[in-house]
Structure 1
Amino acid sequence: MDWRIAQAIRVMEQQMDEHVCFAALARRLGMSTTRLHHLFAAETGMPPGAYLRRIRLDAAAIRLCWTRDTAGQISMRLGYASQASFTHAFIRRFGCTPLQFRRRFRAGLTTEGMTAAYGPIGVREVDGFVLVTRRYIGDLYAVRGYWRDFEDRLRRCGVPRHGALYIGLMYDDPRHTPVEQLRYDCGVTIPGSSGLDEDRLARHGLHLFATRSGRYACLRFKGSRAEVFGAYRSLCDHWARASRFTVTDDPALEVHGIPRHHMDPQHLSFTLMLALE
């Protein structure tokens, strides 16, 4: 992905609740507004305005499932001018109102993902991670290939990895987001003062990113690839929705000691972390 489009995506994902001026964003990236729109569409399959609407609405769907926020609170949080405009956009994306969406989700919940099946969930304060990352979009069953490509780029770029943690960043719920739009970042921790050349990273399709510091719900997962989604259901569908905390709009983190493709798919081991407020 072109580094300028990757940067534009980061800006939109971090400012979902704000008005994004694409002309100003284009100037910041050293290109015309027309060039930004054409390049963005070529890289993502949609123009920047449509992309921003999509990630806002998918974030709204997650909040409807995992929090007790009202539709009005969610619309305000995500920068909609009114609840009516939010509801109209939501219907266009999901074919139902936010309230209907929440009711259908809750009606479909089963005990399969209850927390007891995957071990205890703890809440702890976590410092933010400074990462080198790369964005991948598509089928999550291809994640081992993502990590293989990512590790090759790190090697070619000379990113130091001694003692590093490998972190996958999950942005979307595959039950609500089409498979061809699912966002996943591969990341590796680096010292905050590593002095890495961002231009060199960009030439290899890599980017710096800092995760949120603060409170996280943490679940230690051990099991097969087929059981990973059950762990997400346990943490997000059941625990987060029933807890006194509220999930943020930050990505869920999968913290590994080694890159995912070096693990046996039948014996995965990582810590699943969900940012809270």
Structure 2
Amino acid sequence: MLSHIHQHLDEPLLVADLAALSCWSRWQLQRVFQSETGLTVAAYVRELKLSRAAAALLGGRDRILDLALRHGYDSEVSFSRAFKQQFGCSPLAYRKRGLWVGLRQPISQLGPRGLGEGKWLQVRVETRPAFQLLGVRGEIRGLFAEQPDFQQQVPAIWQRVQALPGGEQLNGLPLLGVSDLRAHQDEAHRFPYWAGIAPSEQPEEMPLTLTGAETLQVPSQTYGVVTHQGPITLLPQILSWFIEQWLPQSGYRGLDGLELEAYPANYQGKAQDASMSYWLPIAPLP
């Protein structure tokens, strides 16, 4: 079903027609699809079509009306209304801004090498503006090293930043981990890992002071973003899928840059319903 949707996004995709291609009634298809993906069929199709339209806005000079008609809308008004609902701005404003923001990618199923069949993942493409990280750094051996140690070293680095004078202020705030893959790694595949916070992304009424912390300048970058739901110990399987399976088929290439881990306030990494996101630097293939 997903393959059919992905291969026919330039055509009308009605729930009744999709149900006729499946083994389910319309009601059964809607129920199964939403149970498995968290989206209705119509919402999923709309997300992907509007994401294609957004990419076309940035990559070409087509009139907005032409894009509207091409992606299944009968007027520029209805297209603009749906576009603003998904992206928070009009098509014209999106084109003027010139940033890849909020582009939804097709849902993929995580295979048996990861967390088993039945887990569905959707990547989005976002451009994040430059920011400054305040925190501490250490060195780790990452996922693809012969002897990875990140599962031991990363928690230790987070303990260091929380032990700084003022570290208690981090409780209840969104946090960021940064893997710096810009420099050539040594023979042991070690690279810097930062644990900290982006002060510019915190409420103004909560000034933050971390005595002894260092700063890292993170440039503006386009990322592929995947959300991981579940214990943090399972994140490596998600990253393996992200890099080994999603990226080669995505139309993007990976970059040696700063990879981000975004943790919400009050994140509990051992919880089954824990949710965080991983940001992988990417660029469109030529």
TM-score (norm 2): 0.45
Higher strand fraction (1 or 2): 2
- TM normalised by structure 1 equals 0.46
Structure with bigger RCO (C-alpha 8 Å, 6+ apart) = 1
